[in-house]
């Protein structure tokens, strides 16, 4: 989605533009990127969470944290239905306002979800620190991404935040699905 969608956009910048700007309303190939990029990615990510749910060693509050991560796939699917306006401003069309609401809910859900995973039973202190650290990193990068002084790097900040969080989640899913026969949610 990121590279394929960006290849369709003549002046798109991974450094300065949000990922959501790939399917901004009224831009070239927005519908293609929405459905074959954002929606498809969301469906695949959501499916992975569902498939690994029974294998995740979470319970109680850490299980709630696990399911809060479903906000990420929902946000990608939601971005197909409510794309941002060109420039992804704070205010704008109804679609932009829905998009921003989805972003705030996703930010909070992911932050809390990652933190709650630190309460997973039988994980080491280093893994607890990893989940808390991911939550903090996610929050810090999100705040920097919205800071006007960082506007030239907001796309890079968003990609770095998502790369780090999704990499750890994918490593965890890999382990949960038996590639390493580990019973811990770690990487």
Per-residue pLDDT of the chain (187 residues; tens, 9 = 90+): 555 677 778 788 899 999 999 999 999 999 999 999 999 999 999 999 999 999 889 999 999 999 999 999 999 999 999 999 998 888 899 999 999 999 999 999 999 999 999 999 988 999 999 999 999 999 999 999 989 999 999 999 999 999 999 999 998 888 777 743 544 445 5
Domain presence at residue 184: no
How many Cβ atoms from other residues are within 10 Å of residue 177's Cβ? 12
Number of H helices, E strands in the chain: 8, 0
Rg (CA), the chain: 17
Domain that holds residue 147: 2-176
Domain presence at residue 151: yes
Domain presence at residue 183: no
Domain presence at residue 9: yes
Domain presence at residue 187: no
d(CA 166, CA 10): 27
d(CA 106, CA 87): 20
Domain presence at residue 15: yes
Domain presence at residue 165: yes
Domain presence at residue 142: yes
Three-state secondary structure call for residue 151:
helix
Give how many domains the chain has, as a whole number. Answer: 1
């Amino acid at each position: 989605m990121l590279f394929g969608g960006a290849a369709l956009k003549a002046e798109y910048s991974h450094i300065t533009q949000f990922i959501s700007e790939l399917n901004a309303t009224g831009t070239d190939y927005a519908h293609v990127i929405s459905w074959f990029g954002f929606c498809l990615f969301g469906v695949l990510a959501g499916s992975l969470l569902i498939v690994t749910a029974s294998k995740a060693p979470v319970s109680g509050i850490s299980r709630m944290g696990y399911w809060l991560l479903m906000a990420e796939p929902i946000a990608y699917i939601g971005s197909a239905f409510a794309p941002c306006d060109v420039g992804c401003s704070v205010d704008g069309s109804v679609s932009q306002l829905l998009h921003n609401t989805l972003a705030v809910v996703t930010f909070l859900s992911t932050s809390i979800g990652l933190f709650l995973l630190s309460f997973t039973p039988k994980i080491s202190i280093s893994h607890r620190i990893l989940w808390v650290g991911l939550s903090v990193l996610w929050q810090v990068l999100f705040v920097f991404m919205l800071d006007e002084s960082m506007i030239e790097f907001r796309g890079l900040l968003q990609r770095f935040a998502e790369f780090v969080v999704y990499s750890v989640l994918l490593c965890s899913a890999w382990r949960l699905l038996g590639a390493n026969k580990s019973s811990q949610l770690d990487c």
